[in-house]
């Protein structure tokens, strides 16, 4: 009987030990999620832009493109343009490409820069620095951001129409028009499309296959830009009135930057992982600011 009791005890201890073993990958992710970060300003440009709404880094040419709305977000006034900016903050060419109205979201694919402009997507040949095509989106009211997958399919948000368009092989369709409230920032992430919205003020994921919407984080206010950072599962999301949020894998978030008291906007951002550089267009303050994302030191 005594031997039986000892055997049972050994088995129980063994099972308990197995149950408490941690997955190294999960443990690493948990440690990353506990880290605290902050933004440190590196440079800011001259105030020569005209309502800079979006920035995007061109890795091939090591240059940054800036969309300039030039005040009217919906008006077809023909005064908008794209600028070229160095990664050190020097404005290389203020009016690199013109002949557009209210350029906002930007996307790059196969040597071309795609620009959302009220009700059309403008296609720019980067090498030539000229417009080569315009894709009209019938029914669009105010298209906003763009995200492009590895096959060149474009997802385009329409904030006023509460919809997301898809441009695939030159064919335009409404990809999603239900369950959205002033959709804005888009970012493809594997088999899902991430969305930050101004109306519902949330950050969600949309399954590309089923189109099911899953909540990631609430309370991002006037959701605008989304950027993937070097830390897996972490994203930066902006409220265009002046907040940059860091959203953790579990959906919790912290504010890394709040410039609302200075009326400095934080519109559609981009992050350059190789340079650890966050690019923030400031909207009505007419400049772009770059920050380093650094881990906070212990108090």
Q: Does residue 95 form part of some domain?
A: yes
Radius of gyration of the chain (CA): 22
- Looking at residue 2, the DSSP 8-state letter turns out to be H
User: Looking at residue 64, which CATH number applies to its domain?
Assistant: 2.120.10.30
Provide the pLDDT for residue 297.
78
Those residues whose C-beta lies under 8 Å from the C-beta of residue 16, and which sit 6 or more positions away, are none
Range of the domain at 204: 37-295
Within-domain flag for 164: yes
Higher pLDDT residue, 124 or 19? 124
Quick check: 9 pLDDT over 70?
A: no
- Give the closest residue to 257 by CA, choosing from 44, 46, 31, 33: 44
Which pLDDT belongs to residue 32?
55
How much is the pLDDT for 288?
A: 98
Q: What tens digit of pLDDT does each residue of 288-298 get?
A: 999 999 998 76
- The mean of the pLDDT values for the chain is 91
pLDDT confidence of residue 14? 40
pLDDT for res 34: 62
Residue 116, pLDDT score: 98
Q: Which residue has the higher pLDDT, 39 or 1?
A: 39
CA distance 128 to 107: 17
* Residue 179 reports pLDDT greater than 80: yes
Mean per-residue pLDDT for 68-97?
A: 96
pLDDT digits (tens, 9 = 90+) for 196-245: 999 999 999 999 999 999 999 999 999 999 999 999 999 999 999 999 99
Q: Model confidence at 191, in pLDDT bands (50, 70, 90)? A: very high
Separation between Cα atoms, residue 141 and residue 240, nearest integer Å: 20
Q: Which residues 6+ apart lie within 8 Å of 154 measured at CB?
A: 107, 114, 121, 146, 147, 148, 165, 166, 167, 168
5 within domain boundaries: no
- Per-residue model confidence as pLDDT tens digits over 101-117: 999 999 999 999 999 99
Q: What is the pLDDT of residue 24?
A: 43
What's the pLDDT score for residue 299? 52
User: CB-based contacts of 64: which residues, under 8 Å, 6+ apart?
Assistant: 55, 56, 57, 58, 84, 85, 86, 87, 270, 279, 288
Residue-level pLDDT at 17: 37
Residue 29: inside a domain: no
Residue owning tokens 């030539």: 128
> Phi and psi at residue 14, in whole multiples of 5°?
-60, -45
- The verdict on residue 26 lying in a domain is no
Based on the structure, what is the number of domains in the chain?
1
User: Is 27 a domain residue?
Assistant: no
- Give the per-residue pLDDT at 19: 38
**Alpha helices of the chain — where are they, by DSSP H?**
2-19, 24-34
Query: Is 83 inside any structural domain?
Result: yes
Q: Which of 41, 52, 59 is nearest to 108 (CA)?
A: 59
More reliable by pLDDT, 270 or 31? 270
Answer whether 130's CB lies under 8 Å from 122's CB: no
pLDDT at 157 over 80: yes
Does residue 218 form part of some domain?
yes
């Amino acid at each position: 009987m005594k031997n039986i009791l000892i055997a049972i005890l050994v088995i129980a201890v063994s099972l308990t030990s197995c149950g408490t073993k941690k997955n190294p990958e999960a443990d690493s992710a948990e440690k990353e999620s506990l880290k605290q970060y902050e933004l440190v300003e590196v440079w800011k440009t001259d105030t020569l832009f005209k309502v800079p709404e979006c920035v995007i880094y061109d890795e091939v040419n090591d240059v940054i493109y800036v969309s300039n709305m030039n005040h009217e977000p919906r008006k077809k006034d023909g005064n908008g343009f794209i600028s070229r900016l160095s990664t050190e903050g020097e404005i290389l060419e203020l009016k690199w490409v013109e002949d557009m109205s209210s350029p906002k979201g930007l996307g790059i694919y196969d040597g071309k820069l795609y620009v959302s402009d009220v009700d059309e997507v403008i296609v720019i040949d980067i090498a030539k620095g000229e417009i080569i095509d315009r894709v009209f989106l019938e029914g669009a009211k105010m298209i906003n951001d763009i995200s492009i997958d590895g096959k060149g399919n474009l997802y385009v948000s329409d904030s006023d129409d509460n919809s997301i368009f898809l441009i695939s092989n030159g064919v335009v369709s409404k990809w999603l028009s239900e369950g959205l409230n002033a959709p804005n920032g888009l970012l493809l992430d594997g088999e899902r499309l991430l969305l930050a919205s101004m109306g519902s003020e949330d950050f969600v994921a949309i399954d590309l296959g089923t189109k099911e919407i899953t909540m990631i984080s609430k309370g991002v206010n006037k959701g605008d830009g989304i950027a993937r950072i070097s830390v897996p599962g972490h994203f930066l999301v902006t409220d265009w009135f002046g907040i940059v949020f860091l959203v953790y894998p579990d959906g919790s978030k912290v504010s890394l930057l709040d410039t609302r008291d200075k009326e400095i906007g934080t519109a559609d951002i981009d992050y350059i992982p190789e340079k650890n550089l966050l690019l923030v267009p400031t909207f009505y303050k007419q400049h772009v600011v770059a920050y380093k994302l650094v881990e906070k030191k212990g108090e």
